[in-house]
Chain A
Amino acid sequence: MDDLELLSRLRPETEDPDPLTLTRHRIALMNRATDPGARAVAWRWPRMAGGAAVVAGITAVGLVVGLSGGHEVSPGPGAVASSGSAPPAASPTRAAVVLLANAADAAADAPAGTGDWAYTSSVIVMNGTGTNTLRLQVWEKTDGTDSLIREDRDGKVEEFRTGDSSGMFPLSLRHPTYGYLATLPTDPTALRDEIYRQAQNEIGETEPTGQQLYTVDQWAFLLIGELVRRAAPPALKAALYRVAATIPDVEYVDDTTDAAGRHGIGVAHSVNNGGDRTILIFDRTTYQVMGMATEAHDGGTGSEAVLATGLVENAGQTP
Chain B
Amino acid sequence: MTALPVRPATEAGEVDDAAVVERSWTDADAFAVIFDRYAVTVYRFLARRVGGQLADDLTGQTMLVAFDQRRRFDLSQRSALPWLYGIATNLLHRHTRTEVRRHRALAKATADTTLEGHDELVTDRVTAAAQPLGRALARLSSTERDIVLLVAWEDLSYEEIALALDIPVGTVRSRLHRARTKLRRALPKEDN
Contact = CB atoms under 8 A, between A and B. Distances in A.
A19 B47 CA distance: 15
Interface stretch (B81-89, B121-129, B158-166, B167-175): B121-129
A52 B67 CA distance: 13
A163 B130 CA distance: 50
24 contacts: A4-B148, A6-B129, A7-B133, A9-B115, A12-B109, A16-B43, A21-B59, A22-B43, A23-B3, A23-B4, A27-B4, A32-B67, A33-B31, A40-B68, A50-B5, A162-B22, A162-B26, A168-B30, A175-B27, A205-B6, A206-B3, A206-B4, A206-B5, A207-B2
Contacts of B119: none
A15 B27 CA distance: 33
Contact of B32 (A19, A50, A175): A50
Contacts of A19: 1
5 nearest A-B pairs in the assembled complex, by CB-CB distance:
A33-B28, A50-B29, A25-B60, A14-B47, A17-B43
A2 interface: yes
A54 interface: yes
A14 to B, nearest CB: 4
B18 to A, nearest CB: 10
B101 interface: no
B11 to A, nearest CB: 6
Contacts of A33: 28-29, 31-32, 67
Interface of A: 1-4, 6-19, 21-30, 32-34, 38-44, 49-52, 54-55, 58, 138, 147, 149, 160, 162-163, 165, 167-170, 175, 202, 205-209
Contacts of A160: 25-26
Contact of B68 (A4, A32, A206): A32
A50 B31 CA distance: 11
Contact of B26 (A16, A25, A41): A41
Contact of A30 (B14, B19, B32, B153): B32
Given A2-B191, A10-B110, A10-B129, A17 B56 contact: yes
A55 B32 CA distance: 12
Given A8-B152, A41-B25, A170-B11, A1 B56 contact: no
B100 interface: no
Contacts of B133: 3, 6-7, 10
B55 interface: yes
A11 B28 contact: no
B59 A25 contact: yes
Nearest to A54: B5
Contacts of B109: 12
Given A26-B39, A209-B3, A12 B60 contact: no
Given A17-B55, A165-B22, A3 B4 contact: no
